[in-house]
A = this chain, B = another copy of it.
Amino acid sequence: MTRPLQLHPDRLFPADSLSRDIARKLYESVKDLPIISPHGHTDPSWFADNLPFGNPAELLIKPDHYVFRMLYSQGVPLESLGIPSRDGTPVEADPRAIWQRFADNYYLFRGTPSRMWLDTVFHDVFELDVALDGHTAELYYERIDSCLKKPEFLPRALFERFNIEVIATTESPLDDLRHHQKILDSGWNGRVITAYRPDPVLDPDYEGFADNLRQLAEITGEDTSNYAGYLAALRNRREFFKQMGATSTDHGHPTATTANLERAEAKALFARVREGNATAEDAELFRGQMLTEMARMSIDDGLVMQIHPGSVRNHNPLVFERYGRDKGADIPSRTDYVHALRPLLEAVGNEPGLTIILFTLDETSYSRELAPLAGHYPALKLGPSWWFHDSPEGMRRFREQVTETAGFYNTVGFNDDTRAFLSIPARHDVARRMDCGFLAQLVTDHRLTEDEAFELAHDLSYTLAKRAYKL
């Protein structure tokens, strides 16, 4: 007995009828606004080459760490899902078998955002109208697979169908941005820009750091063996990224530590780091120092700075050794901002022309640290609820804990932050629905007038992201 797959028009709206009615009207006014996607991890080659996506497993399971982390937690081996191993462990090669395994276990996602995003993709993109389970797995596979072969499911066609006004990918300074160049050269008018993510050349603990510095020198012609040359090389690549359309940088450090060292100290620290003599404290201090340097460069070149701290990467060594990075084993940890950011803020926090967007995986910092900081420093804004918190309850907690101290205008709209391209409309839709619901409740509480709520719904869905990221 198959069950219907339906997306109710009122989903995620508040339950009481007063608020639900208002939420419905607010949502109606923003649901068709173009998507601004200022931070994410889609692959620019999709849009450069515009080739068909692979099969359903290739498209929807193997790249989605939200999906296979949950299956793994319930005893489904990663090899049975076809996750490529680094050590030669044989993995499932049959995409139909992978899809069936996924479908058999789809009930595990009840109550999770993955379930909502996937159902929306199934329903809206592939026009499926029965629910996914072991019995409908084959039907699903056939439908999705046949769709992917059609021209209207090519990356650029989907980009247009999704009403994406602009999307940012994320690249290392060592990237030559050839895909972005190809898109620019192609005459297609989809706007796909890059963002500057220098972790591989800023973080002494990054795999291949020394090599990366050498490459950076080659690419830029700067002498990265001294601090001044190193900074010049970083500046050089920022300039190149900016010319290629970038409006922002991004920094994914383990903590929010910042530093503002005297020049001589910074030079000595860089020397230790470059020679591979850095202690763990040195490495942390260097990352902190570089955040402040990056902020200074942002004052000069106008690139918006994003900080995504607080993830303990590769928590599971067995999974890391066998399958590598980004396999669902990154775990948040307690993150201090109020002390950690002080050196950076002392240096640049009062610059009204600078925009630093802070993210967190530690929700305890919302009301205690982030909202008070963003509600004071001109340079600070708050990114939306991130990663594990990019979900209905996570978004609700973000608004409830941030708004009263930082207001709405120290936030920057929504980021989908995803490599799951097909889910982008679903993710923005969840954010718009939750924001409309939150605003509706403020109207029902008489904390906001209805006309203000309409303005804010538009701002939160569209304007704030566009303005904060200078898009």
Contact = CB atoms under 8 A, between A and B. Distances in A.
Interface in A85-136: 107-113, 115-116, 131
A447 B11 CA distance: 7
A157 interface: no
Contacts of A362: 364, 368
Indicate the member of A3, A364, A405, A406 with the most B CB atoms within 10 Å.
Answer: A405
Contact of A363 (B336, B368, B406): B368
Contacts of A50: none
Contact of A110 (B312, B375, B408): B408
A369 B331 contact: yes
Interface in A413-461: 441-442, 444-449, 451-452, 456
Given A316-B350, A446-B11, A449-B3, A407 B110 contact: yes
B363 A367 contact: yes
Given A12-B446, A15-B445, A333-B369, A72 B318 contact: no
A331 B376 contact: yes
B316 A349 contact: yes
Interface string A61-94: 0000000011011110000000000000000000
Total copies of the chain: 3
A174 interface: no
Contacts of A336: 333-334
A18 interface: yes
Interface string A324-368: 000011011110101100100110011010000000011110011
A10 interface: yes
Given A16-B15, A112-B407, A316 B376 contact: yes
Contacts of A16: 15-17
Given A350-B316, A377-B316, A331 B372 contact: yes
A366 B392 CA distance: 16
Given A3-B449, A13-B445, A75-B378, 15 more contacts: A7-B446, A12-B445, A15-B18, A15-B445, A69-B375, A73-B380, A73-B410, A108-B409, A316-B346, A317-B346, A319-B350, A331-B376, A371-B388, A388-B404, A393-B403
18 contacts: A3-B449, A12-B447, A15-B18, A70-B375, A73-B378, A73-B410, A74-B409, A110-B448, A110-B452, A111-B407, A111-B447, A116-B447, A312-B339, A318-B346, A332-B372, A392-B445, A392-B447, A393-B400
